A and B are shown apart, each in its own frame.
Chain A
Amino acid sequence: MAFYLQIAVNGAVISCLYVLVALGLNLILGIMHIVNFAQGTIFMLAALTLFVFNVSLGLNYILASLLSVMAIAVLGVVMERLFFRRLRGQFLPSLVMSLGLLLVIEGVAWLNFGIVSQAVPPVFPGVVQFLGASVSKERLVIIAGGLVLIAGLFLFIRYTRAGKAIRAVEQDPEGAVLQGIDLDDVTRLVFIVSFVLTALAAVLVAPTLALDPSIGETPLLKGLVIIVLGGMGSVTGTLLGGLIIGFTESIVGTFYDPVAASLVSGVFLMAILIFRPSGLLPYRM
């Protein structure tokens, strides 16, 4: 029992992380028709910024996280303005450009951060005993935080003015523009929301990771798998896809090893693309 609980907690942690990154990818995809391959490096930048504020400058975790997320939000505005807005809707050029940005950001990080992996000290040390299993508090915080963020995004998209504008553009860009919605405002907003979501995911899990400039690659890859699995542009599909991938990985990772787990998601991705390219759930936000 304790063993299975362990697997379940693991699966939930992984699912939360991947879903948050996938939601960020999916927002940009739905509005701008851009697959942002640089999203993983945003995750990495947020975690490394947190490290700099928290460890190098000695600020406390909460303050360091806030500063890091704010920095990433500013970066989102800048990147949207300078790069992505110009290639809005041009799927292939924007995709290639995002690959270019990925190479630049990750390369710069390697040059500045070095190849020795670093760690942010744990914020919530200790374990809780639960049904005979010992679960680290850190993991429970990640699950709780992840759920709050996902719920927050749902409420934002559904009930706020800005969220409604985003949905309007996603469903009918021309109609939305005729309704007086400024497309540039919406795309800027989408980049901020997407980047902030990814950054929050990063600061949430950073204390459990060995930090180096390559940590964004796995979330990016898994995020891509999830949006394909769940259906591009579908938020509920993303949740479902995230749970499937998270738990598959937890189970395979426990019984075999992490490489086998990644292999399974890779094969999963190919199979879904080949046999059901529209994803598990139809396209709807």
Chain B
Amino acid sequence: MARALPFVPAAFLLGLPLFTADPYWLHVLIMSALNVSLALSLRVLWNVGVLSCGHAALMGVGAYTSAFLATSVGVSPWLGALTGSGATIAVAVGLGYLSLRLRGIYFVLVTFAFNEVFFLVVNRWRDVTGGPSGLVGIPRFPGLPPGRVSYYYLALGLLALTVGVLHRIERSRIGVIWFAIRDSDLRAQCVGINVVFYRVLAFAVSAIFAGAWGAFYAHYVTVIAPSDFTVWQSVYVQLYMIVGGAAAFAGPIIGGSVLTIATELLRATGPLVSVIYGALLTLVMLFLPGGFVSLHTALARVRWRPFSRSTA
């Protein structure tokens, strides 16, 4: 029964365009797929015990690489997307190797700085990135039937790939070793696990999906700018993961889709989105540290004492 559960939403999503071809809602669903995938890939790092503030920059590496190759060199977006993912892995492995000794706040800060540096670099490197106004006129993926429905199915396929691969890795030996490293770094070394290798591997796996979705994004919206990949975008990805519940595989899926769709339903824009997201994040950290997926256990033992003294 439980194994069949994922097929219900899958069938629903597959059949949806038969009933509605409203481009606005297809767009919302495409963005949900993007956000879910980013949050899921960020969780790979969370599984080895670190929180990254640089996910948007990794996505940006994929997006800019593919967009630059397509606009300036004339490489096919399909090939460009592959190259973009590869470039993202290279950046992540480099950053991972340098920063892998760091944990906790140090890792948060180094990725935070990485995202800032990326933002400043794309702002300045006008010849390649177009500077603050970004790259425009990025070609769409060739060979797809025109219209948004084809992009909807492409996003759905990429989402299925992301979910499938990440789920399998997590349940494989590699996933078990990742969790072991999160539990105890020292202990993992002392049962013969090459902690450095597995941490960098986690970084690479996380990055490949960020890069691939970045390239997808570039060839979908056809305009990218530095402001699409700021550190605050990285914080939003953290938010999808944490508000959904980072402990469970389903957490980022729920967080990413619910928050993206809810934002659209509220027709919230700009600052209002950030107020709503920020408030949610604050409240979840205070009252529901396990995120949405822990709601049923949390409700089972409701203790609404918002003004009680803290107990350490």
Contact = CB atoms under 8 A, between A and B. Distances in A.
Same complex for A and B? Answer yes
Interface of A: 35, 83, 85-89, 91-97, 99-108, 110-111, 184, 221, 224-225, 228, 232, 259-260, 262-263, 266-267, 269-270, 273-274, 277
B279 A96 contact: no
B280 A100 contact: yes
B120 interface: yes
B271 A107 contact: yes
Contacts of B300: none
Nearest to B98: A274
A83 B285 CA distance: 10
B274 A103 contact: yes
A104 B275 contact: yes
Contacts of B279: 100, 104
B116 A97 contact: no
A188 to B, nearest CB: 12
B203 interface: no
Contacts of B232: 103
User: Interface SS of chain B: helix, strand, loop or mixed?
Assistant: helix
B274 A106 contact: yes
B51 to A, nearest CB: 6
A99 B281 contact: yes
A269 B280 contact: no
Nearest to A273: B110
B104 A269 contact: no
Contacts of B220: none
Contacts of B283: 100
Contacts of A224: 109, 112
Nearest to A96: B285
B312 A88 contact: yes
Given A87-B285, A97-B282, A274-B110, A107 B120 contact: no
A262 B274 CA distance: 25
Contacts of B120: 259, 262-263, 266
Interface residues on B, range: 35 or more
B110 A96 contact: no
Closest 7 CB pairs of A and B: A103-B278, A100-B281, A107-B275, A104-B278, A110-B271, A100-B282, A107-B274
Contact of B277 (A85, A103, A111, A263): A103
B102 A107 contact: no
Nearest to A173: B312
A273 B242 contact: no
A267 to B, nearest CB: 6
A211 B156 CA distance: 44
B108 interface: yes
A104 B282 CA distance: 9
Given A91-B105, A259-B120, 14 more contacts: A85-B310, A93-B285, A93-B289, A95-B105, A100-B277, A103-B232, A103-B277, A104-B275, A104-B278, A111-B271, A228-B109, A259-B124, A266-B116, A269-B109
Contacts of A269: 109-110, 113
Contacts of A228: 106, 109
Contacts of B109: 224, 228, 269, 273
Interface in B138-158: none
B113 A97 contact: no
B272 A107 contact: yes
Contacts of A106: 271, 274
B275 A91 contact: no
A104 B117 CA distance: 25
Contact of B114 (A111, A221, A270): A270
Contacts of A103: 232, 235, 274-275, 277-278, 281
Contact of A96 (B274, B281, B310, B312): B281
A221 B116 contact: yes
Contacts of A111: 271-272, 275
B306 to A, nearest CB: 8
B270 interface: yes
Interface string B251-287: 0000000000000000000111111011111110110
B133 interface: no
Given A104-B275, A273-B106, A83 B235 contact: no
Contacts of B275: 103-104, 107-108, 111
B123 interface: yes
A212 B102 CA distance: 35
B219 to A, nearest CB: 28
A95 B50 CA distance: 13
B121 interface: yes
A83 B286 contact: yes
B238 interface: yes
B99 interface: yes
Interface string B42-67: 00000000010000000000000000
Nearest to B276: A107
A92 B52 CA distance: 11
Contacts of B114: 270
A168 B297 CA distance: 40
A274 B102 contact: yes
B278 A100 contact: yes
Contacts of B312: 88-89
A39 B113 CA distance: 17
A114 to B, nearest CB: 10
A266 B286 contact: no
A221 B278 CA distance: 19
Contacts of A260: 124
